[in-house]
Structure 1
Amino acid sequence: MRSERFNILEVNLFYLVIAILLLTFGGYFQKLNIKTGLLITEYVIVLFPLLIFLKLRNKDIKKVLRLNRLRIKHAFLIIVITLFMYPVAVFFNLLMMIIIRSFSVIKPLPIPTADSFHEYIGLFFIIAISAGICEEIFFRGMLLSAYEERFGKKAIVITAFLFGIFHFNLQNLFGPVVLGLIFGYLVYLTDSIYAGIIGHITNNGLAVTLAYMIRVLSSKFNLQSGAVSENTMPNVANMIGGLIFIGIVALIMGILAYLLIKVIREDMKIDDVKNRCDERYRIDAGIYSAKERFVHYAPLIVVFLIYVFICYIQF
């Protein structure tokens, strides 16, 4: 007989274990070879253990992961929504960088950039497709389902922050949180994990493509490219100017994305279902004592403390 509900303590412990494996074995293999290490991280550390965990817990994988059909119309809209939301994520990451710049040095994110078209295809598969599939199944699949049982729609916010923390980089915190909110809501609306996967692949694919195009243009016009040093970073005043410009673009794009999300929402006609589900979750959420709730979420506190420690040694 299949288990109907998640044990939230087990889910949080699983998140803690995966985070530790990411920082230890994942970090080790990525230092040896960044591309191979990323593949090991996504499939061996994130995806396969999750599927094994669900199987051992006798869960209905199709139901938990929302392996439901997604309308072609919605798939196209999600691609456009993600493209519109990209400046919004950049805006929030730049905001964090300005905060960091005011008291420390900004360091380049450890993301490889393609030097050739062949390498670009490989990085697109690793950073966009593999990460899009594995991370969405983890966060908007299992974690969203588990937290949705307890908190209803609030699970979107919770898993978005867990997604941001999972990157273990203060400079890259706000952007993933924003994208996690969008992907989570799209999965919630469509009841399909493919909404998150398509959005994630689009976002990461755009980042890989832009980095490759900048590298190609820099090489073609003999522009200096490479690692950013402390001396070449703009000052806070210039960064604030850039933040204002990107903020205007992000505001316009964000409004357009919201209008497209409304189209999907109207198509799904899901409001009554959500209200009934939220009422059921609110009733079930109060049956645990304060001590039990603390024990259940203690693994998340450990992950957060690890995150704080890593951010401290980074800056």
Structure 2
Amino acid sequence: MENKSVFQANLFAFILLLLYAIAPMALIPIFRRMNISSELYIVLPQILLLLIPTIIYFIITKKPIKDTLKLKKIGIKSIGIIIAVGIFAQPIAMFLSFITQFVFPNRISQVVSSLDDIPLIVRLCIIALIPAICEEITMRGVVLAGYENINIRKAALMTGTFFGILHLDGNQLLYAFVLGIIFAYLVRITGSIYSSMICHFTINGTQVLLSELATKMMRLGGESVELAQNTGISSMSKAQLINTFFSMLILGIICLGIIIILIGKLTKIYGKDGLEERETSVKVMNWPVYGALIVYAVVILVELVGT
């Protein structure tokens, strides 16, 4: 059985992915001619390729913005729990990023580090605040709303998949997928998109702050920041790789357990309405999903061939 809302959500996600795959070919030359700053280079694509399509989506579908995006206030206690979820999600994301670095370079850390000369508050806006707003409005707003009548496990897996492939980066796939699942649970439990926005901001913001701290420590120690950014795991010995793998794995498992406990606390505050069993027979795999997976596979293959 096919569901119209699910199809619309999948189609919307597919269009976003297609835009992210194709639009840079037109936007990059324009940005270069305009000689725009590195800050705008990062911000403009999110506005043009995420926010504008979302506005068009609401104009076409005429769906209620407040209900679709779940613009609902959350309490201070909930905010504290959500921030804690974001903090404990870091080791899990770092472990998954570490695994994928054996195949794909960690470009996001290089991007964050390349903005070191920009004031910290501006970097937090570029890397943490704007993505937390733009990406959540599309993924946990529009797309997750399409899965409103689908059980949470299936909805979280699908939105997590779209979130992972939307980044069009092999290194970010696994951890973005897992974080997307966590974000979906937060929104379903709290009934508010602000929960995933806060968690998203916490994760990205922490990375910016850690990068700032690491850069200052390396400079104080007289180490080359540029060299550290570009070597990654290639500079580690086999023994170091094995030790790092198991250390990060154990830490990741512990943090996952803590996150489950924290989500349980949120469930006690808001009840289990968001986790109740819903429609399970609805078909969620349709041509927009397959199309999105094909587009992602092509982009990644081109990336691998080019390296």
TM-score normalized with structure 2 length: 0.85
Matches within 5 A, 1:1-315: 5=5, 7-8=7-8, 10-21=11-22, 23-25=24-26, 33-98=37-102, 100=103, 106=105, 108-109=107-108, 110-113=110-113, 114-116=115-117, 119-149=119-149, 153-226=153-226, 227-229=229-231, 233-271=235-273, 274-275=275-276, 278=278, 281-282=279-280, 285=282, 294-315=286-307
Deviations 1:110-135 (A, max 9, x none): 4132435x622111101100011100
- Comparing 24-33 with 305-314, greater Cα deviation is found at 24-33
**What is the identity percentage for the equivalent residue pairs of Structure 1 and Structure 2?**
23
The one-letter code sitting in structure 2 at the alignment partner of 1:18 is L
Q: Work out the CA distance in 2 between the residues paired with 1:193 and 1:231.
A: 36
For residues 76-131 of structure 1, what are the alpha-carbon distances to aligned partners after superposition, in whole Å with 9 as ceiling and x for unaligned?
A: 11001110110011111112224x2xxxx746444132435x62211110110001
Residues in 2 aligned to 1:10 and 1:167: alpha-carbon distance in whole angstroms: 17
The one-letter amino acid of 1:181's match is I
Relative distance call for 1:26 and 1:83 in structure 2 (3 A) is: farther
Q: What stretches of structure 2 of length at least 5 have no aligned partner?
A: none
Q: In 1, Cα distance between the equivalents of 2:287 and 2:234?
A: 47
Q: Distance in 2 between matches of 1:95 and 1:231?
A: 10
Taking the aligned partners of 2:123 and 2:177, their CA distance within structure 1 comes to: 23
Contact 2:16 2:50 in 1 (8 A): no
Displacement of 1:25 after TM fit?
4.5
Offset of residue 147 of structure 1: 3.3
- TM-score, normalised to structure 1's length? 0.83
**Is contact 2:7–2:286 with CA below 8 Å preserved after alignment?**
no
**Quick one: distance in 2 between partners of 1:149 and 1:88?**
29
- The 8 Å contact of residues 140 and 193 in structure 1, kept in 2 or not, is answered as yes
C-alpha separation between the residues in 2 aligned to 1:55 and 1:232? 49
* CA 257–140 in structure 1, closer or farther in 2 if over 3 Å, else same: same
Q: Distance in 1 between matches of 2:54 and 2:152?
A: 22
Question: How far 1:44 moved relative to its partner?
Answer: 2.0
Task: Return the offset for 1:212.
Answer: 0.9
Q: Is the Cα contact below 8 Å between 1:26 and 1:38 reproduced in 2?
A: no
Question: Is the contact made by 1:19 and 1:166 (CA closer than 8 Å) also made in structure 2?
Answer: yes
Which range moves more in the overlay, 150-159 or 228-237?
Answer: 228-237
Deviation, structure 1 residue 187: 0.7
Amino acid at match of 2:51: L
Q: 1:111, 1:58 → 2: CA distance?
A: 37
Residues 43-92 of structure 1, C-alpha deviations (whole Å, 9 max, x = no match): 12211221222122111111111111112211111001110110011111
In 2, the alpha carbon distance for the partners of 1:178 and 1:35 equals 28
CA distance in 2, matches of 1:35, 1:297: 32
Query: Residues 140 and 184 of structure 1 are in contact (CA less than 8 Å); yes or no, is this contact kept in structure 2?
Result: yes
CA contact (8 A) 2:21 2:299 kept: no
For residues 271 and 90 of structure 2, the distance between their equivalents in structure 1, rounded to whole angstroms, comes to: 27
Mark the CA change 1:250 to 1:300 in structure 2 (over 3 Å): closer, same or farther. same
1:172–1:73 distance in 2 versus 1, CA, 3 Å: same
Distance 1:314 1:201 in 2: 32
Q: Deviations over 1:221-242 (max 9, x none)?
A: 2122114248962134422211
- Note if contact 1:165-1:307 (Cα within 8 Å) is conserved in structure 2: no
RMSD over aligned Cα atoms? 2.8
Q: Does the C-alpha gap of structure 1 residues 250 and 230 become closer, same or farther in structure 2, counting only changes over 3 Å? A: closer
Instruction: Show CA shifts across 1:231-286 (max 9, x none).
Output: 96213442221111122222222222221111001111124x6435x1xx335x26
